Structure 1
Amino acid sequence: MLRTRKELAFMVMAGIFITSAIVAELISAKLVYMGPYLAPMIAGIVPWPIVFLLTDVMNEYFGKQAIRRLSWITTCLIAFCFLIVFIAVHLPTAEGSWLSDQEFAKAFGGSLWIMVGSITAFLVSQLLDVQLFHFFSKLTKGKMIWLRSTGSTVVSQLVDSFIVAIIGLYLSGAYPLKLVLVLAITGYLTKLVIAVCLTPLIYVMHYLAKRILGERGEHIIPGEV
């Protein structure tokens, strides 16, 4: 029974992780108005702090190898989503369709470049986040959860933000370089603020994970020791 609970916990967290990553790709073509004194930001930024939060917690309880596998699976699913969206964009539109060819292509076509950028950024930043998490974990000798989580996120989110912006927004020709750099910086700072605000939630998740998984939960993953 305990093993089943551990597997269920991993499946739920992995499901939220994958869903957040894919949804972020589909909504990233939209710029969100942040007020008269702030630069706009990409809508897809919103789910990413959840991804990195789960990365840190799952790192702790399921091990580095399990997160690497999940990162590769998520990347493959984003690529699969890319293929489906690509086909949908190029299918002929029937008469009377709610969205015309141009409207549909504008809404979802921009997501294709975002997905290319995100696949690249996701692999680089996630693998970097895993390594940094374990570096900070050794540095703090397993203590100071907030530093392990926030420290790794600060660096990995910086890499993620600029790779996505340059590939998804600049190379696609959607926006000029100056605006793309502004969006990258705004996105990074926004994700950083959200990540810091989520720090109390990290402790809550660690508490719940210990109740369900015990001190270490990585033994439920085949091949993990």
Structure 2
Amino acid sequence: MRFTDSVVRHRPSRLFVFLAGFFVANALVAELIGVKIFALEDTLGLEPWNFNLFGETGALQFSAGVLLWPVVFVVTDLLNEYYGERGVRLLSYFTVVLIGYAFLVIFFAIQLEPATWWRAGAQVQGVPDNQAAFRVTFGQGLFIIVGSLAAFLIAQLTDVFVFHRIRARTGDRWLWLRATGSTVVSQLVDSFVVLYVAFRLGPELFGGVTEPWPWSRLLAVGTVQYVFKFLMAVGLTPVIYLGHALIDRYLGIKRPGVT
């Protein structure tokens, strides 16, 4: 049997490829769609909440990327469960490299001189300049990219650390505790690191198109985004059990039910 055949037919190897592909795809798409800010109340047809936190008021507005990050953390927990710390760390580092590579390619794509017909080709759809739309949509600010990548990597390493510290104390019991517990801690890190780097540290050190955010705004926006991610993490806990059961069946693992 050829080496490639042994890898493809080896179920744990195939499973890692599937999970890794889904993990990378969701992380990359979350980064790309993160430039869009959506209004949660308007999307759901609700009246604006107009929260008041740390002296800041506002509606529930989020980066579209928050819709996929909970999925990334669910996959992270499944990878943690079956492939351990080394597997998740390797994939996390590799994903950061791939996301950085994607932004580099996008940067060069923005610099390409557009064809005249393409630049004006979407006027019938109300877009007067395709090139400007392309640049605004994909040309995220440098510190938003740096902050997002830093938040992703630190959050992933935090998730791995917390997951395995809980597992070391509880063994195979209480899957919900190590899965949800590691996620809510790592998402707390993720929610504030990206805002701090992108909207306070970066503008303070190097300047930018906007003034550095005051701490009140950073804490208010970060808290609102974290509450959303927290609720999503808790709501997705049953998915962890479903994924656990499906993977055990796929790998042929027979063991007592995990509580």
Normalised-by-shorter TM-score class: 0.7 to 0.9
Aligned 1:65-214 pairs, distance under 5 A: 65-96=86-117, 97=119, 98=122, 99-110=129-140, 112-170=142-200, 171=202, 173=209, 177=213, 179-214=217-252
1:55/1:163 Cα in 2 relative to 1: closer, same or farther (>3 Å)? Answer: same
Measured against aligned partners, the alpha-carbon deviations of 1:93-144 in whole angstroms (never above 9, x if no partner) come to 3323244443222211126543321211111111111010001112222211
Tell me the residue number matched to 1:223: none
Tell me the residue number matched to 2:56: none
2:25 aligned with 1:4: no
CA distance in 1, matches of 2:210, 2:33: 15
Tell me the residue number matched to 1:220: none
Tell me the residue number matched to 2:76: 55
Q: Which moved more, 1:148-157 or 1:91-100?
A: 91-100
CA distance in 2, matches of 1:67, 1:116: 21
Unaligned runs of 5+ in 1: 217-225
CA distance in 1, matches of 2:252, 2:93: 27
**TM-score scaled by structure 2?**
0.76
Q: Which amino acid aligns with 1:68?
A: R
Q: Contact between 1:27 and 1:111, CA under 8 Å: does it hold in 2?
A: no
Shift of 1:159: 0.8
> 4+ residue stretches of structure 1 with deviation over 6 A?
none
Q: Which amino acid aligns with 1:94?
A: A
Measured against aligned partners, the alpha-carbon deviations of 1:141-161 in whole angstroms (never above 9, x if no partner) come to 221111101111111111111
CA distance in 2, matches of 1:190, 1:17: 21
Tell me the residue number matched to 2:55: none
1:104/1:180 Cα in 2 relative to 1: closer, same or farther (>3 Å)? Answer: farther
- Equivalent pairs counted in the alignment come to 216
Q: Which amino acid aligns with 1:207?
A: A
CA distance in 1, matches of 2:106, 2:86: 30
1:205/1:111 Cα in 2 relative to 1: closer, same or farther (>3 Å)? Answer: farther
Unaligned runs of 5+ in 2: 1-5, 42-47, 50-58, 123-128, 203-207, 255-259
Q: Contact between 1:29 and 1:111, CA under 8 Å: does it hold in 2?
A: no
CA distance in 1, matches of 2:30, 2:145: 9
Tell me the residue number matched to 2:44: none
Aligned sequence identity (%): 41
CA distance in 1, matches of 2:161, 2:75: 15
Shift of 1:90: 2.1
CA-based RMSD: 2.3
Q: Which moved more, 1:136-145 or 1:87-96?
A: 87-96
